[in-house]
């Protein structure tokens, strides 16, 4: 897709685990055909206003979700706590809605993304970073600047116009409303 940027964080170390997540052998964005068509519409809208979409995660194998759960239950050092979840205990990430035992990402119809400047590729201000597990990351949070709230509304508006639904607790997370596989959780490794 023309101009679309990707930074698939779970394929590397820049994520809340601090290591590649099980099931991510390559930094690839896989989506259902319907999700890709809808994302293309959102990207076209972003480009009309001098922006582009920057994608952090697309399809996520169920094994990756299982890896998140194992990590929560483990006693491994929390090397990324300050960057990703400074105000939440690791064991509370599920109860607070940031991690689930099943994810729409595993159906190929959910996507994590932000808006970036089309010329520089730099993300615009959203008030918090991607995967920052905190109430300030809620889509409608007033704990961020007016500019960040306006930018979140712009992202939400273009994604909703393209057929996606926003997730209240994560300004970056969107799921296709008419997803083709609403009850299937795929487990294919991303290569």
Which residues form the catalytic set? 170
Task: Please state, in angstroms and rounded to a whole number, the distance separating the CA atoms of residues 70 and 64.
Answer: 10
The tokens 């508006």 sit on which residue?
157
- Please provide the size of the chain in residues: 191
117 sits in which H/E element: strand 110-117
The tokens 């520089």 sit on which residue?
120
Task: Please state, in angstroms and rounded to a whole number, the distance separating the CA atoms of residues 153 and 176.
Answer: 17
Name which of 8, 96, 137, 123 is nearest 60 in CA terms: 8
């Amino acid at each position: 897709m023309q101009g679309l940027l990707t930074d698939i964080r779970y394929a590397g170390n820049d994520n809340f685990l601090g290591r590649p997540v099980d099931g991510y052998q390559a930094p690839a964005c896989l989506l259902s055909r319907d999700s890709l068509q809808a994302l293309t519409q959102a990207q076209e809208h972003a480009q009309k206003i001098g922006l582009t979409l920057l994608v952090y995660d697309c399809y996520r194998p169920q094994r990756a979700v299982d890896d998140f759960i194992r990590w929560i239950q483990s006693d491994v050092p929390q090397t990324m706590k300050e960057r990703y979840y400074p105000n939440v205990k690791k064991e509370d990430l599920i109860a607070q809605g940031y991690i689930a035992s099943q994810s729409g990402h595993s159906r190929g119809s959910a996507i994590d993304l932000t808006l970036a400047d089309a010329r520089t590729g730099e993300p615009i201000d959203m008030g918090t970073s991607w995967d920052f597990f905190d109430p300030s990351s809620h889509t409608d949070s007033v704990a961020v600047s007016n500019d960040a709230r306006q930018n979140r509304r712009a992202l939400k508006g273009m994604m909703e116009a393209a057929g996606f639904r926003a997730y209240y607790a994560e300004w970056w997370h969107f799921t296709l409303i008419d997803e083709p596989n609403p009850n299937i959780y795929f487990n294919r490794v991303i290569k």
